[in-house]
Structure 1
């Protein structure tokens, strides 16, 4: 089955289950992303038709909320805190370091799909700044060396 069609059965099941829910668009988009890992382009017309919305309305909601992805997620997600406490303890320099190491900007993903960089504005680890979250695990009191090790670990497992 071509890639663009393989997700249609799941999308249709979600639409059938959620389409009559008040304010159904967000629950549908969340369910699609949870089930597929992102909201594929071919889901947009299906969702729009089921909810009697325009394509622009559906795409507008997807683009408005930063949590929705329109491409497959990277194998790893690094969320680097940029809030005041972390910034006062060197987060800006760490952000510059990781952007250079990865060759991506904020909200970017490495060309091989290994890692996505996402700035965030609080991880709740202010007492042990600077901090980042890698694949859901918080790492605090970061040093440039520890950051490099964590990032390198995301790539060595692929080649190992």
Structure 2
């Protein structure tokens, strides 16, 4: 009996197949909620980060597949905008203002103190997982600089001593 010529079709990996189930569900929920909205990619990415705290690198393929985009398009947006994180943040995220108004009243010295005190650079998380340090380019608190935001709490006229107290409170 002669066998028919069969074309072998390679099995493609499932987009986002490496994601843990809870992350996969969060990504799928974000896509479902925003699929039909104009500018849906940004909305989906923000929703994923709101749910998970970051955009897992393995989610890029799933988001691209679900929105009929290339992985390069999704990765390009994630890597272009500083608001998106690709690693899990600490329990608290500290945004330090680097805009000119804050710089003019001592933000550079506060930045140096923060990095030394926490032992991390921008986009880094402390070894105990308590704090992620992020730069931000204006918190709209210019009259009260230097300013920072801890999670969703805006703080003004931050000195190194006040910074240390904020960090101690976050770790408590």
Q: What TM-score do you get using the length of structure 2 for normalisation?
A: 0.79
**Equivalent in 102, 113, 132 of residue 86 of structure 1:** 102
| Structure 1 residue 14, shift from structure 2 partner | 3.0
Aligned equivalent of 1:5 = 21
* Larger helix share, 1 or 2: 1
| Structure 1 residue 41, shift from structure 2 partner | 2.6
| Structure 1 residue 125, shift from structure 2 partner | 2.2
Structure 2 gaps of 5+ residues are 1-17
**Equivalent in 41, 52, 57 of residue 41 of structure 1:** 57
* Equivalent position SS for 1:7: helix
* Equivalent position SS for 2:134: strand
Structure 1 gaps of 5+ residues are none
* Structural mapping, 1:2-151, within 5 Å: 4-151=20-167
More moved, 87-96 vs 138-147: 138-147
Contact 2:148-2:155 at 8 Å conserved across structures: yes
More moved, 92-101 vs 48-57: 48-57
**Considering only aligned residues, what root-mean-square deviation do their CA atoms show, in Å?**
2.0
Query: Within 2, Cα distance between the matches of 1:54 and 1:3?
Result: 18
* Equivalent position SS for 2:115: helix
More moved, 87-96 vs 115-124: 115-124
Query: Within 1, Cα distance between the matches of 2:101 and 2:38?
Result: 40
Query: Within 2, Cα distance between the matches of 1:14 and 1:70?
Result: 16
Q: What TM-score do you get using the length of structure 1 for normalisation?
A: 0.84
Query: Within 2, Cα distance between the matches of 1:109 and 1:4?
Result: 22
Runs of at least 4 residues off by over 3 Å: 20-23
Question: Measured at CA, do residues 99 and 50 of structure 1 come closer, stay the same or move farther in structure 2, by a change above 3 Å?
Answer: same
* Count of paired positions: 155
Question: Measured at CA, do residues 20 and 126 of structure 1 come closer, stay the same or move farther in structure 2, by a change above 3 Å?
Answer: closer
